[in-house]
Amino acid sequence: MKTYEVILPRFGRMQEATVAEWLKRVGERVEEEEPLFTFETDKANQEVKSEAAGKLVEIRVAAGNMA
């Protein structure tokens, strides 16, 4: 089974971001392009989508923490 690591994308001069909410839980199935979590910066909120279908096996940054 392939494993993909989800990396927080960088937008412009973004220095910090906080994971606002996980939209999936560990063990749940995820489809390609399905939103995984939202993050907040000082200027915007954004969704991060899955690049591949599969199962979420680990969350390394909990909601409310900086990524």
Quote the pLDDT of residue 12.
72
pLDDT tens across 4-14, in order?
788 777 777 77
Domains, the chain, ordered by start: 1-9+16-67 (2.40.50.100)
For residue 50, the number of C-alpha atoms closer than 13 Å in the C-beta half-sphere is 20
Residues of the chain scoring pLDDT < 50:
none
Reference 52, options 1, 16, 15; nearest CA is 1
